[in-house]
Structure formats: structure tokens, C-alpha cells
């Protein structure tokens, strides 16, 4: 065993500021209140229901993760947020129609108390949306200052010890890294010059880091994946991470593809299509926003299958992803996958998947875990990119020069080993030769 790392205690309130009180945001808030009241179980949440093995299998130690690491208690979370619509979280949850009326009404008072602050929003970055609850300011610098004030005010008014900002807002148009993103100085000059290479999501992330607040990116937007955010967050020991919550079809992909590779089954093609009818689907109907999502969804297979290492198996496959906005389905997305694989001697096979999923039901526990584990990382002094939280993202961010890991099972091992490392427990390698005496002397 090694020395446990120093982690500040988890006492006091944690302010959770959600950018975008839509389907995911309200399902996170309502769900957390329902769990707090004992009215539902936090299914899908590793921090709430997951266990972790410690030591040798013979020791029989497998505590709940929340009893092993010092996580903030659900009762200590205080939710707030921003949205371009002025609806309180109760009204927004009703409109999102993810949860039943019975569930939403059971936490009506808590949801009604959450009224979104005015958002920083510009239509050119999310073409299919517009709303009235938006800040005005002379330039991006002024808007950033208003967000900084929002965060500080919320923290003081709710007696929060610590804060976390989580982006659950819409997918912005595809953006690429530009010179303005190089350094903190160039970025601040860009804010003052109202540079269009700075989308709203970056203004929120800037305000978060400026106030020492960790930033979680649940959408595929570029946001913190630029040099100055990496450097600044590492230097000031503020966690950043992303991007794009791993749910639905991509979750399935990162479960299945490692299995194909493990058994050396080849791949000719993977065609994925979805129908969904929520606001996210409507936003993604715009080609600019879809391109951001498409890049995120496409990146997964290559990194898992490693075509350069296995050219005979994965050197030449077709990967297509489609999202179709189809209002009748609301948040209950249907995702089809057709997978063309080949086996022994090259014989072809097919797999068909029809996943009738609920997007926000899959995303909410991911968002909750991220809030709690990010707060843990901050208390442990782990600033900058949190690669160990890749488990939760479609497009995990890693240090420059490293290939991000997409295999869900490697990601889980990494996450749990990080927790063991923080707490001074032995890392688990699954070797186990000691039980069989193969190499014993004499
Ligand atoms: N649901 C999932 O499974 C899932 C998975 C991965 C990623 N995501 C991403 O999470 C995000 C939220 O998804 P959703 O289904 O809740 O969408 P949604 O449309 O229901 O909610 C997004 C909310 O963000 C608000 N918004 C947009 N721009 C804003 C801004 N600049 N400031 C403040 N609020 C803003 C919108 O008004 C809306 O209420 C999307 O980007 C989506 O792509 C969702």
C-alpha cells in the first residue's frame, strides 16, 4: 500500500450550476431530489450504487464507492443554473417530459425554487434556438464578468463551500482551435475585442475557471479543449474535462467494439442511425451543430479498434452516424445499429441492434457522478484535465500527445485505480499467479 493522498474534507454545501436546464439538466435535479427523499433509487450512478474491490479477492473487501472515498453527500448539493428560457425547473421538467408527472410533482417545491439566471447566448452558435432570458452586454468581456458575478453571488447566497459548473446546454456549431485560444492573454484580448471565435460555452468555462470553479462539458463543443484552458486550469489546480456525455448508441459502441477486438473479429462496417424528438434533436437538425456531434460520435471506433495495429481486421471499415429529428418520439430515442463483422477465414456475419432508450435517463446519473467526482478531484488538488473520468464521455480529453482511451472497461479500470491510488490502496492488476504457485521456489 502507498500513502493516501491529502484530500480536503467534503463538508459544506456544493453549488452545482447547470448551464442549460433542459431535458438532462432537469432530470439530474429532479432525480437527485427524488433520491434524497427516498422516493427513487439512483440507478446507473457508480458513485451511489457502485462498489470497489480492495486488496486480494480472498480479503472480501468491496465497499460502496461512496463509503470508500470522501464524496460530498447528495444532501449538500445546491442546484442553480442558466437558461435562455425563463421557466423554472418544474416548468422546464414538465416541458422536457422525461419524467412522469408523479415524479416531477413529488419534488415540485424544490424544482420551482430553481429559476434560471439569464444566459449568455448567441444565435449564430445554435441556429435552431432562440429565447428571451438572455444577458445583454457591450462585448464578450462584459458578459464574462456578469457570469463571474453570477457564480460568486450564488456561492455567497447559498453558503457554498465549493462550486461546480456543468454544461448541459445545447450543442454549438462546429468550431476549431484558433490563435485566440492560445494563451490566457490572447483569450482575454479576444473577449474584449468580441472575437467570434469565442462561443458562449467558452465564456462560461472562462468564468468558471476565473472563479476557481471546475468545469464539466456534457456536450461535444470545443470549449475547454484549447491550449489556454488546459494550461490555466492545471496551473490554478481547477479540474476540467469533457466532452459529450457517453449515453445511448455510443455507450453501446464502446461496450461492443472492445469485445470484437478482444476476440479478433473483423469489421467491415458500422451504420448507426437514430430518431429522436426532443429539443436536442431539433438543435442537431442544424448541419453545423450536427457536425460537432458527428465528429464526437465518429472518433470512438478508431481509437478502440486501432486500425494501424490490426490492418487485416480494421484497416478498411465504413462508419456512418445519422441523427434524425422526429418529434413524436420526444426524449425516447430509438437507435439502430447495423454491424457487419467477419470471423474465421473471413466469413461474414451481421449484428442488428435496436435500442429503445431514454436519453436523459442515461445521462442524469453520468452528470451526477461527474459532479461528485469532480468535486473530489478539486479537493484532492487535481487540476487540469481529468483523464480518469473518460468513462463518462464520448470524446474524452487527454493530455496533448496521448490518444484518449475509449474502451469502457479500460476506462472503468482507470477510474477505480485512480480512486485506489488516492486512498493509498494497492492497484489491481488482475494477475493472480500467486494463487497457483507456478513460480514458487523448491
Ligand atoms: N441526453 C443525452 O443522452 C446526451 C448525451 C450526450 C450529450 N448530450 C448533450 O447534452 C446537452 C443537453 O441535452 P438535452 O437533451 O438536455 O437538451 P435540451 O435541448 O433539452 O436542453 C438544453 C438546454 O440548454 C439551453 N441552452 C442552450 N444554449 C444555452 C446557453 N448558451 N446558455 C444557457 N442555456 C442554454 C436550452 O434552452 C435548453 O433548455 C446537449 O448538448 C446534448 O447534445 C446529451
Angle at 429 between CA 423 and CA 432, to 5 degrees: 120
Give the separation between CA 159 and CA 161, rounded to whole angstroms.
7
Instruction: Kindly state the average pLDDT of the residues 13-33.
Output: 98
| Any ligand 1 atom below 6 A from CB of 218 | yes
Instruction: Kindly state the average pLDDT of the residues 421-440.
Output: 93
Burial class (CB in 10 A: 0-12, 13-18, 19+), 279: buried
Q: Are 248 and 355 in contact (CB under 8 A)?
A: yes
**Which residue's entry shows cell 480479503?**
59
Q: Which residues lie below 8 Å from residue 110, measured CB to CB, with a gap of 6+?
A: 29, 33
18 pLDDT higher than 90? yes
| Any ligand 1 atom below 6 A from CB of 164 | no
Task: Give the residue from 300, 275, 271 showing the smallest Cα distance to 285.
Answer: 275
Question: Which pLDDT score, from 0 to 100, does residue 284 have?
Answer: 86
Question: Which pLDDT score, from 0 to 100, does residue 318 have?
Answer: 97
442 pLDDT higher than 80? no
1 pLDDT higher than 80? no
Question: Which pLDDT score, from 0 to 100, does residue 41 have?
Answer: 98
Lowest-confidence segment of 184-188, 317-321, 329-333 by average pLDDT:
329-333
Q: Could you give all domains of the chain from N- to C-terminal order, each with its CATH number?
A: 13-245+361-422 (3.40.50.720), 248-356 (3.30.360.10)
Tens digits of per-residue pLDDT, 375-385? 999 999 999 99
Joined together, the cell numbers standing for residue 189 give 484580448
What is the band of 389 on the pLDDT scale with cuts at 50, 70, 90? very high
Instruction: Kindly state the average pLDDT of the residues 401-429.
Output: 95
CA of 281 to the centre of ligand 1 (A): 10
Question: Which pLDDT score, from 0 to 100, does residue 217 have?
Answer: 98
Instruction: Kindly state the average pLDDT of the residues 96-109.
Output: 97
Give the separation between CA 178 and CA 217, rounded to whole angstroms.
19
| Any ligand 1 atom below 6 A from CB of 384 | no
Q: Which residues lie below 8 Å from residue 122, measured CB to CB, with a gap of 6+?
A: 199, 200
| Any ligand 1 atom below 6 A from CB of 83 | yes
What is the band of 296 on the pLDDT scale with cuts at 50, 70, 90? confident
Instruction: Kindly state the average pLDDT of the residues 176-188.
Output: 98
Tens digits of per-residue pLDDT, 202-254? 999 999 999 999 999 999 999 999 999 999 999 999 999 989 999 999 999 99
184 pLDDT higher than 90? yes
CA of 161 to the centre of ligand 1 (A): 27
Around 351, how many Cα atoms within 13 Å sit in the side-chain half-sphere?
19
CA of 73 to the centre of ligand 1 (A): 26
Q: Which residues lie below 8 Å from residue 329, measured CB to CB, with a gap of 6+?
A: 275, 276, 277
Give the separation between CA 366 and CA 179, rounded to whole angstroms.
33
| Any ligand 1 atom below 6 A from CB of 23 | yes
Question: Which pLDDT score, from 0 to 100, does residue 203 have?
Answer: 98
CA of 139 to the centre of ligand 1 (A): 24
Give the separation between CA 340 and CA 6, rounded to whole angstroms.
49
Mutate to test the pocket of ligand 1, among 18, 20, 395 (most ligand atoms within 8 A of CB): 20
293 pLDDT higher than 90? no
286 pLDDT higher than 90? no
Query: For residue 281, what are the CA distances in angstroms to 124, 200, 253, 287, 329?
Result: 18, 20, 20, 12, 10
Question: Which pLDDT score, from 0 to 100, does residue 278 have?
Answer: 86
| Strand residue runs (E) in 357-415 | 384-385
Classify 377 as helix, strand or coil: helix
What is the band of 292 on the pLDDT scale with cuts at 50, 70, 90? confident
Tell how far CA 195 is from the center of its chain: 27
Q: Are 117 and 55 in contact (CB under 8 A)?
A: no
Tell me the Cα Rg of the chain.
Answer: 22
Give the separation between CA 9 and CA 16, rounded to whole angstroms.
18
Joined together, the cell numbers standing for residue 152 give 460568486
Give strand pairing partners of 320.
271
| Any ligand 1 atom below 6 A from CB of 21 | yes
151 pLDDT higher than 80? yes
What is the band of 279 on the pLDDT scale with cuts at 50, 70, 90? confident
What is the band of 154 on the pLDDT scale with cuts at 50, 70, 90? very high
DSSP-derived secondary structure letter, 236: T
Mutate to test the pocket of ligand 1, among 18, 199, 280 (most ligand atoms within 8 A of CB): 280
Question: Any long-range contacts for 386-389 (C-beta under 8 Å, 24+ apart)?
Answer: 386/239, 386/240, 386/241, 387/414, 388/414, 388/415, 388/418, 389/241, 389/415
Joined together, the cell numbers standing for residue 328 give 413524436
Question: Which pLDDT score, from 0 to 100, does residue 297 have?
Answer: 79
Question: Which pLDDT score, from 0 to 100, does residue 280 have?
Answer: 84
Give strand pairing partners of 19.
82, 167
295 pLDDT higher than 90? no
Largest CA distance in the chain: 81
Q: Which residues lie below 8 Å from residue 406, measured CB to CB, with a gap of 6+?
A: 254, 257, 299, 300, 303, 304, 390, 396
59 pLDDT higher than 90? yes
**Which residue's entry shows cell 500467486?**
434
Three-state DSSP string of 108-137 = HHHHHCCCCEEECCCHHHCCCCCCCCECCC
Question: Which pLDDT score, from 0 to 100, does residue 299 have?
Answer: 82
Q: In what order do the strands lie in the sheet with 348-356?
A: 318-325, 266-276, 334-342, 348-356
Task: Give the residue from 95, 22, 81, 286 showing the smallest Cα distance to 172.
Answer: 286
pTM of the model: 0.96
Atom nearest to 169 CA in ligand 1: 24
Give strand pairing partners of 349.
341
Amino acid at each position: 500500500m502507498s500513502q493516501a493522498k491529502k484530500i480536503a474534507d467534503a463538508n459544506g454545501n456544493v453549488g452545482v450550476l447547470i448551464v442549460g436546464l433542459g431535458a438532462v439538466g432537469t432530470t439530474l435535479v429532479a432525480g437527485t431530489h427524488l433520491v434524497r427523499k427516498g422516493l427513487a433509487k439512483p440507478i446507473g450512478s457508480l458513485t451511489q450504487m457502485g462498489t470497489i474491490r480492495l486488496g486480494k479477492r480472498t480479503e472480501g473487501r468491496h465497499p460502496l464507492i461512496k463509503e470508500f472515498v470522501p464524496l460530498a453527500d447528495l444532501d449538500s448539493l445546491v442546484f442553480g443554473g442558466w437558461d435562455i428560457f425563463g421557466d423554472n425547473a418544474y416548468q422546464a421538467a414538465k416541458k422536457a417530459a422525461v419524467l412522469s408527472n408523479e415524479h416531477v410533482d413529488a419534488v415540485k417545491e424544490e424544482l420551482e425554487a430553481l429559476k434560471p439566471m439569464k444566459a449568455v447566448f448567441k444565435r449564430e452558435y445554435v441556429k435552431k434556438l432562440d429565447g428571451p432570458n438572455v444577458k445583454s452586454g457591450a462585448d464578450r468581456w462584459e458578459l464574462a464578468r456578469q457570469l463571474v458575478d453570477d457564480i460568486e453571488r450564488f456561492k455567497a447566497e447559498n453558503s457554498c463551500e465549493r462550486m461546480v459548473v456543468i454544461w448541459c446546454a445545447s450543442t454549438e456549431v462546429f468550431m476549431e482551435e484558433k490563435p485566440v485560444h492560445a494563451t490566457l492573454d490572447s483569450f482575454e484580448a479576444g473577449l474584449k475585442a468580441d472575437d467570434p471565435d469565442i462561443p458562449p460555452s467558452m465564456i462560461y468555462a472562462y468564468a468558471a475557471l476565473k472563479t476557481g470553479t471546475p468545469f464539466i462539458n456534457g456536450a461535444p463543443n470545443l470549449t475547454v479543449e484549447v491550449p489556454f484552458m488546459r494550461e490555466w486550469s492545471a496551473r490554478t489546480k481547477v479540474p476540467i474535462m469533457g466532452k459529450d456525455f457517453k449515453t445511448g448508441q455510443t455507450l453501446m459502441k464502446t461496450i461492443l467494439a472492445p469485445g470484437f477486438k478482444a476476440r479478433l473479429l473483423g469489421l467491415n462496417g458500422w451504420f448507426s442511425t437514430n430518431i429522436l424528438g426532443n429539443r436536442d434533436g431539433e438543435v442537431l437538425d442544424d448541419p453545423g451543430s450536427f457536425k460537432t456531434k458527428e465528429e464526437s460520435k465518429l472518433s470512438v471506433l478508431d481509437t478502440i479498434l486501432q486500425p494501424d495495429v490490426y490492418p487485416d481486421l480494421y484497416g478498411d471499415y465504413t462508419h456512418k452516424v445519422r441523427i434524425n429529428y422526429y418529434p413524436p418520439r420526444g426524449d425516447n430515442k430509438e437507435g439502430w445499429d447495423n454491424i457487419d463483422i467477419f470471423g474465421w477465414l473471413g466469413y461474414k456475419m451481421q449484428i442488428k441492434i435496436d435500442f429503445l432508450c431514454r436519453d436523459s435517463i442515461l445521462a442524469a446519473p453520468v452528470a451526477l457522478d461527474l459532479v461528485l467526482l469532480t468535486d473530489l478531484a478539486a479537493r484532492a488538488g487535481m487540476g487540469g484535465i481529468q483523464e480518469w473520468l473518460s468513462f463518462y464521455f464520448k470524446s474524452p480529453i487527454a493530455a496533448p500527445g496521448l490518444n484518449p482511451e475509449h474502451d469502457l472497461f479500460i476506462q472503468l479500470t482507470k477510474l477505480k485505480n485512480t480512486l485506489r491510488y488516492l486512498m493509498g490502496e494497492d492497484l489491481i492488476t488482475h494477475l493472480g499467479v500467486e494463487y497457483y504457485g507456478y513460480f514458487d521456489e523448491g
